[in-house]
A = this chain, B = another copy of it.
Amino acid sequence: MKIGVLGSGKGSNFQAIVDAVKSGKLKGVEIAVVISDVKDAYILKRARENDIKAFYIDAAPYKTKLDGEAEKKYVNCLRDNGVELVVLAGFMRMIKGSILEVFPGKIINVHPALLPSFPGLESWKQAVEYGVKVSGCTVHFVDRGMDTGPIIEQAVVHLEDGDTPESLHRKIQAEEHKALPHAISLIRDGRIRFEGRKTVISR
């Protein structure tokens, strides 16, 4: 299964996928291409260091979404590289355009909160400010909404009294690095079916 990874930042979740592929946990998965909307994003450097094709594709003039001509370029690049599953790993743009129709049910995202709590940006900060005692991460299929798609997997993190947004973020990321490769393996193995908007994982 060829996957394409979209990211805007450091790419620590991308690295987790690379590691899972290398260690054999994601046997049969090939990272065909990495695309970033940020020219000097570290995720591109990481990809090249791992001999994975990496492209910067400008997504202007939009600032917060992938749309229009830029979206077409992304879709073409993913298609040209034979991508079957698109993984959003810290990609900081909303996706609601035709890419969803090109890859129906084949785009996933990892979000740093127990959705539907704390959608949107800096969920770890939202969580600390709200004062929750538990948070975590959610791997979900992407739909037109903001972090609203069907959930594949959630992992829990307990907040300690001294936790800051930063310390919580680190704990959540550690869970993301396990949950995202695992969710990819479920898709690779065809183990996910839908009941309405619920996912059921076969054993």
Contacts of A200 in B (CB 8 A): 161
| Residue A136, interface by CB 8 Å | yes
Closest B residue to A133 by CB, please name it.
B154
Q: Are B136 and A151 interface neighbours, CB within 8 A?
A: no
| Residue A54, interface by CB 8 Å | no
| Residue A117, interface by CB 8 Å | yes
Interface residues of A (CB under 8 A from B): 114-118, 128-134, 136, 150-151, 153-154, 156, 161, 196-201
Closest B residue to A199 by CB, please name it.
B131
With the chains together, A114 CA to B115 CA distance in Å? 10
Q: Are B197 and A130 interface neighbours, CB within 8 A?
A: yes
Q: Are B131 and A154 interface neighbours, CB within 8 A?
A: no
Q: Are B130 and A153 interface neighbours, CB within 8 A?
A: no
Contacts of A197 in B (CB 8 A): 129-131
With the chains together, A201 CA to B131 CA distance in Å? 12
- In whole Å, how far is A139's beta carbon from the nearest beta carbon of chain B? 9
With the chains together, A150 CA to B133 CA distance in Å? 10
- In whole Å, how far is A178's beta carbon from the nearest beta carbon of chain B? 14
A132 in complex: contacting residue of B131, B132, B134, B151, CB < 8 Å: B151
Closest B residue to A118 by CB, please name it.
B116
